[in-house]
């Protein structure tokens, strides 16, 4: 029997990966994390309600999720240069349109188009490009990208606020658009030339066959359930954690301090995975990380008024969240193989994105109905347990089908 040839991949490539990671920092920072800072000045100048303005972001996220499968399938077949270049150009131009608009319909049209742009150039698309291109080292490269992306809020929230304070919200958007066009567009346009090249791992299924095989498996649906549950928890945290902690009697300075701990904790988790490299499988890292999430939420439930408790919760939650960004990207090739990665990842993204978009509203309705966040917090606990069980089930069924 002839041995399979060793996997090959383009030599070097680390400067390109660092440049692509910088683009993720700029894009996440200017489009997603900076959005909340524009709400108040737009509300004051244009007279739109806060719910109306925030609704545009939700629409954009839903559109991004709906586009994820098509974008992933395109990358599987043709690589990422055209899509990611178009996405970064589109995002920059849409930021310019946003800076000049004064009509709410146009604002929503901008964010519908922005959803398409985000699907074409953010994590999901880039992970598909890296997995397609680098057969051996894609995990390490994805980890480096997330280390940069994890700093987006740290860098761009104060930067965007300074731009708004110094130049006004419209001019701030123009400057962010310039960053998008001057940094991201050339990297995607020139750096991704020839990346992917149609290479496939030895014995890999054609993309369409790989997707069909995945969707017919219990592994896929169990993993989808896990991602939906974690997306629900992340959405509640992103939009409601400050009022949840304030409701428990903490001063806002302590709430902000606890949340600030999460950024370094996320980076610590990602650095740990980078250091371990190929010595730990993504599935094992996911099992360990998800196992800590119910522990973190139990601290929030059992010691609701403890200052040490909320800092302990924040550190554990940040560690889990940072680790799971990488696990979500690298578990798919571990469980299903590299063929069809973009399409499979896109299909898994769709329900999780939909849940992420509607959960903040549902949580707000629950707060109103029950007169507090108790039910919301307990729903996070239940979701964390579901996520653990679903992920472990996916790994178990995949191991039965083939050794991991």
Q: Give burial (CB, 10 Å; 0-12/13-18/19+) of 290.
A: buried
65 and 354 Cβ atoms separated by less than 8 Å: yes
Q: Cα(74)–Cα(359) distance, rounded to whole angstroms?
A: 30
Percentage of residues in the chain with pLDDT exceeding 90? 38
> Which pLDDT does position 195 carry in this prediction?
58
How many angstroms from the chain centroid is the CA of residue 119? 11
End-to-end CA distance of the chain: 22
Listed as own residue / partner, the contacts of 210-217 with beta carbons closer than 8 Å and 24 or more positions apart are 210/336, 210/337, 210/339, 210/340, 210/343, 210/344, 211/73, 211/340, 211/343, 211/344, 211/347, 213/336, 214/336, 214/340, 214/344, 214/347, 215/347, 217/397, 217/401
Q: Cα(327)–Cα(329) distance, rounded to whole angstroms?
A: 5
> Which pLDDT does position 227 carry in this prediction?
94
Mean pLDDT of all residues in the chain? 85
264 and 151 Cβ atoms separated by less than 8 Å: no
Segment 103-146, tens digit of pLDDT: 999 999 999 999 999 999 999 899 999 988 887 788 888 888 88
Q: What is the CATH number of domain 207-401?
A: 1.20.1250.20
333 and 281 Cβ atoms separated by less than 8 Å: no
Q: What is the CATH number of domain 14-191?
A: 1.20.1250.20
> Which pLDDT does position 147 carry in this prediction?
83
Q: Cα(346)–Cα(387) distance, rounded to whole angstroms?
A: 19
Percentage of residues in the chain with pLDDT exceeding 70? 92
Give, as one character, the DSSP assignment of residue 143: H
**What value does the mean pLDDT take over residues 272-294?**
84
Segment 200-254, tens digit of pLDDT: 443 334 566 778 888 888 999 999 999 999 999 988 887 788 788 888 888 878 8
pLDDT level of residue 153 (50, 70, 90 thresholds): confident
pLDDT level of residue 293 (50, 70, 90 thresholds): very high
Give, as one character, the DSSP assignment of residue 124: H
Give, as one character, the DSSP assignment of residue 189: I
Which part of the chain is CATH 1.20.1250.20? 14-191, 207-401
3-state secondary structure of 251: coil
**What value does the mean pLDDT take over residues 3-25?**
74
Residue closest to 243 by CA, chosen among 383, 150, 366: 366
Segment 27-79, tens digit of pLDDT: 999 998 888 889 889 999 999 987 788 889 889 988 998 999 899 889 988 88
> Which pLDDT does position 204 carry in this prediction?
39
324 and 289 Cβ atoms separated by less than 8 Å: yes
73 and 342 Cβ atoms separated by less than 8 Å: yes
pLDDT level of residue 176 (50, 70, 90 thresholds): very high
Q: Which residues touch 1 (CB under 8 Å, ≥6 apart)?
A: none
């Amino acid at each position: 029997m002839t041995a399979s040839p060793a996997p090959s991949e383009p030599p070097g490539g680390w400067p390109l990966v660092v440049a692509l990671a910088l683009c993720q920092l700029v894009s996440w920072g200017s489009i997603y994390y900076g959005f909340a800072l524009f709400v108040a000045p737009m509300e004051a100048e244009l007279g739109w309600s806060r719910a109306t303005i925030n609704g545009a972001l939700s629409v954009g996220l839903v559109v991004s999720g709906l586009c994820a499968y098509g974008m992933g399938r395109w990358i599987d077949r043709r690589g990422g240069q055209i899509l990611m270049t178009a996405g970064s150009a589109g995002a920059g131009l849409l930021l310019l349109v946003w800076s000049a608009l004064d009509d709410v319909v146009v604002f929503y049209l901008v964010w519908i188009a922005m959803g398409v742009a985000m699907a074409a150039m953010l994590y999901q698309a880039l992970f598909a490009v890296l997995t397609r291109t680098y057969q051996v080292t894609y995990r390490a490269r994805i980890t480096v990208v997330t280390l940069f992306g994890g700093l987006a809020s740290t860098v761009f929230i104060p930067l965007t606020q300074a731009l708004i304070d110094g130049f006004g919200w419209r001019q701030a958007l123009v400057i962010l658009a310039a960053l998008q066009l001057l940094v991201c567009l050339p990297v995607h346009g020139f750096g991704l030339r020839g990346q992917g090249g149609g290479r496939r791992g030895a014995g890999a299924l054609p993309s369409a066959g790989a997707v069909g095989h995945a969707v017919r498996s219990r592994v896929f649906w169990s993993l989808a359930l896990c991602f939906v549950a974690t997306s629900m928890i992340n959405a509640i945290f992103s939009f409601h954690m400050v009022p949840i902690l304030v409701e428990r009697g903490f001063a806002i300075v302590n709430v902000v301090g606890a949340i600030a701990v999460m950024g370094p904790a996320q980076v610590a988790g990602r650095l740990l995975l980078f250091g371990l490299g190929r010595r730990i499988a993504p599935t094992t890292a996911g099992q360990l990380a998800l196992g800590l999430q119910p522990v973190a939420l139990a601290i929030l439930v059992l010691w609701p008024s403890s200052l040490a408790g909320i800092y302990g919760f924040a550190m554990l939650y940040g560690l889990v969240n940072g680790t799971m960004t990488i696990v979500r990207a690298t578990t798919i090739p571990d469980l299903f193989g590299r063929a069809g990665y973009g399409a499979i990842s896109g299909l898994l993204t769709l329900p999780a994105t939909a849940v992420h978009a509607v959960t903040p509203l549902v949580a707000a309705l629950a707060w109103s109905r029950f007169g507090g966040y108790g039910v919301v917090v307990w729903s996070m606990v239940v979701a964390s347990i579901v996520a653990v069980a679903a992920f472990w089930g996916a790994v178990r069924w995949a191991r039965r089908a083939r050794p991991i």
